[in-house]
Chain A
Amino acid sequence: MRTVIMIVVVAVALLAGNALLQLLGASARIDLTEQQLYSLSAGTRQVVGELQKPLTVELYFSQQASEDLTQLRAYAERVDELLQEYRLASDGQLTLRRVDPEPFSEQEDDATRFGLQSVPVGNLGESLYFGLVVRDANDNYETLAFLQPDREPYLEYELTQMIYRLQQDTLPVIGVLSGLPVMGGFNPATGQPNEPWMAIEQLQSLYEVRSLNAELTRIDSDVDVLLLIQPPDLTEQAQYAIDQFALAGGRVLAFIDPVAETAAGGMMGLQQQASADSLTTLLAAWGIDWQSNQAVLDATNALVVSQGPGKPPMRHFGLLALGESSFVADQLQTSALEAVNLSSVGRLTAVEDASSVFLPWLFSSADSMSIDATRLQMGADLLQLQRDFSSAAERQILAATVTGSARSAFSAIQAEQWRQPEDPEHIADTQQLAVTVVADTDVLSDRLWVQVQNFFGQRIATPWADNGTLLVNLTDQMAGSTALMSLRARGQYQRPFDRVEALREQAEQRFLASEQRLQQQLQATEQQLMELQPAPGDEPLTLTAEQQQAIEAFQQQKLDIRRELREVQHALNKDIDALGTQLKVLNILLLPLLLTLLVGGIAYLLQRRRVL
C-alpha cells in the first residue's frame, strides 16, 4: 500500500514539476545544429523587424481531433514557440492567435475560407486542421494549408516568405518566355494537365509570373525581369523586342541548353522546338559566345546514377553535382548554396573585344572536357562517355553575368521595320546592361533537385539540392529584393558517405582499365579464330590436328576472357562492401572487445596502485 502511495506521490510531483518547467517557455535553449535550423535566422529577423504594417498570425490546430497524435501535438507546441520568437522579433507588429476549429464551429468555417487542409483522423474520420494563416488589416492573407512535421526545417522560410509577400503592395513581374513546358499545360501523352515545374511554382509564390508569347512585338513595360528558358524559335521582331528591353535597362535571365533532355521529359519534338539558337545573335551582341553544339563532361563532379536493377550504380560524366568549389566566392546569388545539379550543360566564353564586362560565376572542375552535344541525348552510353573522356585540364564556364556597355544587335534601319508607332525611340547602345546566362535548362526541371509529393491535393516539395533556390536567388537579385536570400538555403540535405563515393569512383576507373584491356584481348582472340576458320563460301577443309587444337585453345581463351569480364563487373562494388563489413566487424566485435579489455586494464592498474 505504501508503495502505491509513493508511486502516486512521485507521479504527482513529476507532473507538477513538468508543468512548472513548461511555464519557463522556449527561450532557454541551445541550437547545436550546424545550420542553426531551429533558431530564427538573420534574414527572418530583418524581414520581421522591418514590418511596415501590423499582421496577425493564426495557428489553426484541432485540439480534440489530435488527442491521439502525441507527436503532432508536440510539433504544434514547437510551432507555437517559433511563432513566439517571431512575435518578439517583430517589435509589436505581429499578433498571435491560436484557433481551435471545432467541428461545425465558426472557426471551422474560417479555416475552410482560408483554404486550410483538413485531414481525416481516427476511426470516425474526424477532421484535423493544422495550418497557418497570416493576415493584414485589409483581410489580405497568406496560408500554409497543413504543417507536416517532416518539413519542420523549412517552416521558418515558408512563414517568413508569407510575411514578406503580405508586406509587398505590388509584386514584381517576371515575364517567362520558354519553349519548354515550364508553366505546365496539357500533356497529350497522358491526357492530363501537367503541373508547372516546381522551380517556377516557387517563383509564382513570390512574384507575379507572366507567360509571354513567342510572337511578341514588345515586352510589357511593367516586366521587371525577363526569364528566357530555352525559348522557341523567335521571330526577328521578338528578338528585337528582347534586345530593346535589355538595352533599356531591363534585367534578363536566360537558361539555355545544348540538350534539354531532362527538361523536355523525353518528349521528342520539344527538343527541336525549343533551342537556344535564336538567341545566339543577341548573346553575341551582349558579349557572350555560346556554342550550342558543345556540352561539358566533368569527371570530378559527376553524379552517381542508377542503371536499373541488377546493375551497379555508375557516375554520369554529363550529370554534374556542383558544390561550393564550383561557385565564385562572395556572390550573393550562390552564397549559402550547398549543391546545384545540372545535366548536359553547355559552355560559355566571352566574346573578344566586347565592350561589356563578362563575369563568370559557375564553373566545372578542371577535370573536364567539352564534347559534341548530341552524344548526351537520351540513352547516352555512360560507359562509352567514360572511356572517351580525356581531361582538357581547364575549368569550363557554365554560367556568367554580363554588365556594362553594349550595342544593339540590330541597326536603326532594321529597327524601322519592327518599331510600332507607340514604341519609344530605337536604343542603339546602353551603359546599364544586366544579363545573366546559365548554360543549362535541366537545372530547373524537378527531377534534378526536388521530390514532389501530392498531399491531399496539395503539392509538397522536398528539395535534395539547391537548384530552385538558385533560380529564386537570381530572380531576387535582379528584381531587387534580397532579404530572403540568407535563410533560403537552410534545408537539410543529404549527407552522403563521401568515402564510399570516392571508392565507387576508384572502382569505376579500375573497371574501365580492365574492361578495355579484356575487350581488346577478346577482339584479338576473335580475330584469330576467324582467320583459322574457313570462310562461309569456301570448301570445307579438313583441319589439321594442330589447327583444331589452336581453335579449341582460342575458344577456351575467349570463354576465359568473358568470365574475367563478368568477374570484373561483379568486383565493382567489392571495396564498398568490404568497407561496410570491416566497419561492422570493428564496431560489433573487435572494438567492443578491445575497449572492454582496455577498461579492465585501467581498472586493474588503478586498483593495484591503491593497494600499493
Chain B
Amino acid sequence: MSWVICKRELSAYFSTPVAYVFIFMFLALAGMFTFYLGQFYQRGQADLVPFFNFHPWLYLFFMPAVAMGLWSQERQLGTIEMLLTLPVSPAQAVLGKFFAAWLFAGIALLLTFPMWLAVNYLGAPDNGVIVASYLGSWLMAGAFLAIGSCMSVLSRNQIVAFILSVVLCFVFMVSGLSMVLDVVRAWAPLAVVDMVAGLSFLTRFEAMSRGVIDLRDVGYFVWLIAVWLMATVHLLNIKKAA
C-alpha cells in the first residue's frame, strides 16, 4: 500500500511546475557553489570535495521545502481526513509519502551527474570516494526529509512547517559544533556530550565523504529517519483521534 501512495505522490510532484523549479534551482545552485565558492576549477584537483561540502547547506533549505507540504497541505485542504478513512494505516501513508519525497530528492541528486562526468573528464578522481559521498549525501537528504515530514504534521501552515524544519535540521547539523555542545556540557557528563556530538549530520556525512561506508554512519541515518517517521505516525494518530 505504501508503494501505491509513494507512486501517486511522486507523480504528483512532477505534475506541478514547482518540482521543475526545484530541480533546476538545486542543480544550478550546486554548480554555482561548487565553481564559485568552492573554487572547483582553480583548485585543479580531480575530486568533488567542493561539490559535496555544500550539500548539507543546500539541503538545509531545499529538503524542508520538499517536505513542508507532505502533511500540512493535506490538513490545509482538508484531504487528510479522506486519506485516513481510506484502507491505509497512518504508518503506510507516512512511509509512502516519505519515500516519494526521498526518491524525488534522489532524482535531483542523480541529476548532478554532469559534475561527476566533468571531474572524470578533467582528471582521474578516486571514484570510490565519490560513490561513498553520493550515498552519504542521499542518506543525509533522507534524514532532513524525515524531520521535515514530522514538522509538516505539526502545522497546517506550510511556511510554519518549513521554518520549524529548518530550525530543527540546523540544530542537528551543528550539534557537533561547540555552540550546541556548550549548552549540553553545562549539565551533562562528557559521555553525553560525545553522544550529542555524534548526532551531527556534518560529522557523519564527512566521515562517509572520506570514502568509508561505516555501518554506524549508515545506521545513524537510517535510525534517525526511522525515529522521526515513527514520531510522524504517532502525531498523525493523535490528530486522527482528535
Contact = CB atoms under 8 A, between A and B. Distances in A.
| Co-complex (A, B) | yes
Interface of A: 2-3, 6, 9-10, 13-15, 17-19, 21-22, 24, 26, 28-34, 37-38, 63-64, 67-68, 70-71, 73-74, 494-500, 580, 583-584, 586-589, 591-593, 595-596, 599-600, 603, 606-607, 610
B199 A18 contact: yes
Contacts of B199: 14-15, 18
B174 to A, nearest CB: 10
Given A67-B185, A495-B46, A592-B24, A14 B212 contact: no
Contact of B31 (A494, A584, A596): A584
Contacts of B170: none
Contact of B124 (A2, A21, A498): A498
Interface stretch (B59-67, B79-87, B227-235): B227-235
A591 B123 contact: no
A408 to B, nearest CB: 49
Given A15-B196, A17-B223, A494-B45, 14 more contacts: A2-B238, A13-B227, A14-B199, A21-B223, A33-B210, A68-B178, A74-B207, A495-B125, A584-B35, A584-B41, A587-B34, A587-B115, A589-B31, A596-B23
Interface in B193-233: 193-200, 203, 207, 210-216, 219-220, 223-224, 227-228, 230-231
Contacts of A589: 28, 31
B55 to A, nearest CB: 15
B168 to A, nearest CB: 8
B57 interface: no
Interface in B32-52: 32, 34-35, 41, 44-47
A10 B126 contact: no
A67 B193 contact: yes
Contacts of A19: 195
A603 B118 CA distance: 26
Contacts, number: 174
A38 B129 CA distance: 12
A196 B192 CA distance: 47
Given A29-B213, A496-B123, A599-B20, A607 B220 contact: no
B132 A595 contact: no
A599 B14 contact: yes
B205 to A, nearest CB: 12
Contacts of B88: none
A150 to B, nearest CB: 12
Contact of B211 (A32, A64, A591): A32
B181 interface: yes
Contacts of B31: 584, 587-589, 592
B213 A73 contact: no
B111 interface: yes
14 contacts: A6-B235, A14-B199, A21-B219, A21-B220, A22-B198, A31-B212, A74-B176, A496-B46, A497-B46, A499-B121, A499-B123, A586-B118, A591-B27, A592-B31
A82 to B, nearest CB: 12
B52 to A, nearest CB: 14
B123 A30 contact: no
A494 B228 CA distance: 41
A67 B178 CA distance: 9
A495 B45 contact: yes
Contacts of B45: 494-497
A588 B24 CA distance: 9
A70 B114 contact: no
A583 B200 contact: no
Contact of B190 (A67, A583, A591): A67
B196 to A, nearest CB: 7
B120 to A, nearest CB: 10
Given A17-B223, A34-B128, A495 B28 contact: no
A499 to B, nearest CB: 5
Contacts of A600: 14, 20
Contacts of A592: 23-24, 27-28, 31, 111
B11 interface: yes
A588 B214 contact: no
Given A495-B124, A591-B114, A70 B176 contact: yes
